[in-house]
Structure 1
Amino acid sequence: MVKARKYVFQKQFEGLPKETDLKLVEEELPPIKDGEFLAEAVFLSVDPYMRAYAPQLPLGSTFIGSQVAKVIESKNSSFPVGQYIVGNSFGWRTHTISDGKPTQAGQLTAWLIPDPEGLPLSYSLGVLGMPGNTAYFGFLEICRPKSGETVVVTGAAGAVGSIVGQIAKIKGCTVIGIAGSEEKGKWLVDELKFDRFINYKDKDFEKKLKAATPKGVDCYFDNVGGEISTQIINRMNKFGRISVCGSISGYNDKEKARGMRFWWHPVQNYYFFTFLAGAVQFAVVSQQLKMEGFIVHRWLDRWFEGIKQNKQWIKEGKLKYRESVTEGFDNMFKAFVDMLQGGNTGKAIVKV
């Protein structure tokens, strides 16, 4: 019998998650059946979506998440012993029994990792996995950037934003990255070759955004939402495109900010006021913007296209990547909260 350790979701988060909201338990797994395999976690992912999806997660269930795992026992010829896989729906657990079949909705539960060609296996949770495909499809399919355009990316030093900005540079765009520390900004500009960096904590953010985008903004890849996003959207040119990937600025808010705000319209040069919740509608209408949210599984039928292209760009030296690695399964919660508070640069990973 194999003993697995897992994190059980036992209390809904209120604001920033607390360690007591999850419980680390041990369970004894049964023998595998025909068509099943047993996988042992090697790397686990922590991502912003886990906080956003938590309200939909039943109490008592294993907390959600993906992992790179090694098949250690198998009665399924599609998942032979010794192979490394991505367990897309395995969650925060050390050992998992699976049959590898897609869900009823057609989402993949597990797949063999394509030849990493010398790259770290953990990349399959990042640039060569869900975050990489989120950047690849979410930016290229929705924003459809053109050479010479100006692109703004929030959450620019994270797992998705850092890839989006580099793809934008590959496509010949001017790229402004928004992040929360000077250290992250230095990485974006010096190593990833973003054209400009703005710290969203800067009290002169709006002024610096205007200076960094003298020709306005054509494409905006939004990871954060909130007032920062409203200011960026109000800098956009006619027929600009906005790809809405997430809204991490509000994930831990107990109450959404409410109230009246005044905004300066950068093109028409006059003030208008609106409730904060509707602050973007004026710009969307007056500038005829396209604003579209997405979930990356929309492109499941092209999943390995994104992985292949991002791998090729890495091999060509056009795409660089960084991971923030936390050691130890016992530190899953710490890595999760650090990520939610912006403590990671690049992809946040836990090494078992």
Structure 2
Amino acid sequence: MTVTDLAPSPHTRPDRPARGAGERYVSSFTTLTRSVKDAGLMQRAYGYYWTKFAILMVLGAGLVVAFIFIGDSWWQMGIAAALGLLMTQTAFMGHDAAHRQIFRSGKWNTWASLVMINLVTGMGHGWWNKKHNKHHAAPNQLGKDPDIGPGPVIWTGEALQTRTTRTGRWFARIQAYTFYPLLAFEGLSLHVQGVARLFSRNKLEHRWVEASFIAFRLGTYVALVFIVLPPGKAAAFIAIQMGLFGAYLGLSFAPNHVGMPIAPRGMKIDFLQRQVLMSRNITGGRWVDTFMGGLNFQVEHHLFPSMARPNLRKVAPMVREHCRQLGVRYTETTLFQSYKAVTAHIHKVGRGGADIWACPLAGQMRTA
């Protein structure tokens, strides 16, 4: 389903759920959680993660050796592309660590995330983690989810109202055509925001650790590229690596929630429906699991954010059946269809066609 917005009935206060409905879903989720734990699906997957980490590090070291060995050649652009893909896979690992999916120890997870996000990929862990936690707390809810706030791309009709200039509205109208090319700049944007947060006055845990890791990573990376390659090829190398890194990340995150229902401000939704109704799973087998870093099981990830990645595929049938019994819509589609839904949504929003309306899902939440 690709409804644009989710709104309460005019006869129901948006800040007060229907009496009894919320309790039912809370109780059912408690039952589901107990079944998941009894099945052993909340256990850690140390073998999987250590193997994955070792493979990524070996491949990374191999790319560095190959880069130095090849020297001044346009063949290095292939190394740049491979590095962009590898950095994205490493970022997925950092995402898992930030969600406490890898280790039992919170401290170990934090340091693993710092190493993979800051030291290996050169991004900022602190600012992203805070933003991402807000997203998980209220996915696709106006005023709460920072991922649907105003920005280069307009995700909601409310955000469209912030485009007050003719140029701004023109870019909104054509955003379905510019969205995918813009993803090439997402990697650069993430790096810039991470560095900018280090210089802000906002509280940031591990500020100096993050600053040291990012400075070392970016400094040695740029220095090595310009030592081995002449300026023109070095610039092309960095552009390809960063562009592919950003596009890959964007293509992995966009299908998860874009085009799914959007909850208006102040609407109270129980945890299970909030996470399931606003998320989209991507089918396609284990190659999709690898390509998307496990994010293709977005429903299960939102319900059990600390679950180890390999267990998401195992728990999916349980969640699907649980939602079927409750009558809660569980959305899954192919990767191609998800991009089609994403494109249709941003095209509709950009042209002013996304109005908040009384979606049938709102009625479902009132009467369930």
Band of TM-score, shorter chain: under 0.3
Structure 2 length-normalised TM: 0.24
* Greater relative CO, 1 or 2 (CA 8 Å, sep 6+): 2
Larger fraction in helix: 2
Structure 1 length-normalised TM: 0.25
Larger fraction in strand: 1
